[in-house]
Chains A and B, each alone.
Chain A
Amino acid sequence: MIFLGIISALWLGILTSLSPCPLATNIAAISFIGKRVGSGRYVLLSGLAYTLGRMATYLGVGVVVVLGVLSIPGVSAFLQTYMNKILGPVLILAGMFLLGLIRLRPAGVLAGRKVQEKAERGGLLAAGLLGIVFALSFCPVSAALFFGGLVPLALKHQSGVLFPLFYGVGTALPVIVFAVLLATGARFVGAAFNGLTQVEKWSRRITGATFIVVGIYYSLAYIFDLL
């Protein structure tokens, strides 16, 4: 019985991810996770970090509403109203950072290898943060499926922990599959033209530009009510 519930939670997550509503953030997530096309390990690890970020968020929100700490309408309205509004400017700044338009200067000069390790750790942390922020940005479909589908399911099975976790995996799964496919495809292109570094350089630029476009879309839609 609980197994069926878990499958339902996973499926609700996949349904959320496949709906047109979170398409813009999913595109941004796919390009971010798949941007280091040269390293399959990195793509998988950042996909994992992104999934963990989403799982942690749904777990937190799920526990809060299942335990009745906050009311469902209040939490849902708050997240839908404010997170989507904050998301626009945040994504534009993140995109500008990825494109090198704005920089954070390192405190000291480190050896090349250390810099790379630090950048990799930073990239994974960023993927996790992206998972948290995107999961918190509830849109009408995700709010309907999470608060109207998953929460009642979790209450029925008395599992406020397990079900939100699987829902989080479901929401990240299609994104990761696309990112891995994209990275694999880009690797083939890079290998074929003997220019993986070039492909990675462009991949990073595309990611930055995607973030900026998605950020402008969110700002116009949620802050200025223009779309």
Chain B
Amino acid sequence: MKPRAIVTAGLLIFVAVSVVYLIAKEAGRPAISSNRKPVEPAGSGPGTVPARNQVVDAQSPVEVIVYYFHGNFRCASCKKIEAWTQEAAQNAFAKEIEQGRVEWRPVNIDTPGNEHFVHEYRLYTKSVILAKFKDGNQMRYKNLEKIWRLLHSRSDFEAYISDEIASFLREQGGG
């Protein structure tokens, strides 16, 4: 068999395997427009978070949840956003995190049960969302959209994140 024929056959096999794998994978996952009820989390492990307006725990001290929503595919900018956001929150609000007033929660929206966040927070890409809670109820949320334009400057990015968290913490009950 000539090298050219081997390369052609190899590539065609790779394409065929990719297509078959893709079809098999997609057949096993819910459609994007699906409005099915999310599987509510049983525990508090990674990727298990409460739905909007749901009473989490009236006794919960949490005031602000800093969400970072991502998918299975992690691009370079997405990893940078996650690392910088986590660092900004942990550096500026170490005390509040320890007290449970601020929580850092990365969430994979491709994990079954987390699709509802796409509709609830109107997510159109990897996003940092701040959610204000009072007595376990979510009062409001904000998509920190400027993150994508601040990727050139770590200090500006982290200042933006910490200013927004501080502003959410100052709010009484959310308005």
Binary B-proximity of A181-202 (CB < 8 A = 1, otherwise 0): 0000000000000000000000
Q: Cβ of B145 and Cβ of A21 under 8 Å apart?
A: no
Any B CB within 8 A of the CB of A85: yes
Q: Cβ of A143 and Cβ of B33 under 8 Å apart?
A: no
**B18 cross-chain contacts in A, Cβ below 8 A:** 88-89, 219, 223-224
8 Å CB contacts to A: which residues of B69-104? Answer: 71-73, 75-78
User: B83 to chain A: closest CB distance in Å?
Assistant: 15
Given contacts A74-B32, A74-B33, contact A140 B15 (CB under 8 A): no
Given contacts A81-B32, A101-B8, A141-B75, contact A92 B14 (CB under 8 A): yes
Report how far A225 CA is from B149 CA in the complex, Å.
27
Q: Cβ of B73 and Cβ of A89 under 8 Å apart?
A: no
Report how far A140 CA is from B125 CA in the complex, Å.
5
**A212 cross-chain contacts in B, Cβ below 8 A:** 11
Given contacts A20-B76, A224-B21, contact A73 B15 (CB under 8 A): no
User: A211 to chain B: closest CB distance in Å?
Assistant: 11
Of B4, B18, B21, most A-chain CB atoms within 10 Å? B18
Write the chain A residue with the least CB distance to B4. Answer: A101
Report how far A222 CA is from B73 CA in the complex, Å.
7
Any A CB within 8 A of the CB of B123: yes
Q: Which of B8, B118, B125 contacts A147 (CB 8 A)?
A: B125
Given contacts A74-B32, A219-B14, A219-B18, contact A140 B126 (CB under 8 A): yes
Write the chain A residue with the least CB distance to B148. Answer: A144
Any B CB within 8 A of the CB of A80: yes
Q: Cβ of A73 and Cβ of B11 under 8 Å apart?
A: no
**A19 cross-chain contacts in B, Cβ below 8 A:** 77
8 Å CB contacts to B: which residues of A93-141? Answer: 93, 96, 101-102, 139-141
Any A CB within 8 A of the CB of B36: no
Q: Cβ of A92 and Cβ of B15 under 8 Å apart?
A: yes
Any B CB within 8 A of the CB of A31: no
Any A CB within 8 A of the CB of B27: no
Write the chain B residue with the least CB distance to A19. Answer: B77
Any A CB within 8 A of the CB of B1: no
Q: Which of B19, B32, B76, B122 contacts A78 (CB 8 A)?
A: B32
Q: Which of B32, B118, B124, B149 contacts A143 (CB 8 A)?
A: B124
Any B CB within 8 A of the CB of A40: no
Q: Cβ of B21 and Cβ of A148 under 8 Å apart?
A: no
User: B15 to chain A: closest CB distance in Å?
Assistant: 5
Q: Cβ of B75 and Cβ of A140 under 8 Å apart?
A: yes
Given contacts A102-B8, A145-B148, contact A77 B32 (CB under 8 A): yes
Write the chain A residue with the least CB distance to B118. Answer: A73
Any B CB within 8 A of the CB of A221: yes
Any B CB within 8 A of the CB of A76: yes
Write the chain A residue with the least CB distance to B15. Answer: A89
Interface residues of A (CB under 8 A from B): 15, 19-21, 71-74, 76-78, 80-81, 84-85, 88-89, 92-93, 96, 101-102, 139-141, 143-145, 147-149, 212, 216, 219, 221-225
- A-B contacts, 9 of them at CB < 8 A, read A15-B149, A71-B122, A77-B118, A80-B125, A81-B32, A101-B11, A143-B124, A144-B126, A219-B14
11 more CB-based (< 8 A) A-B contacts, given A20-B75, A219-B14: A20-B77, A21-B76, A74-B32, A89-B15, A141-B75, A141-B125, A144-B148, A147-B125, A149-B149, A216-B14, A225-B72
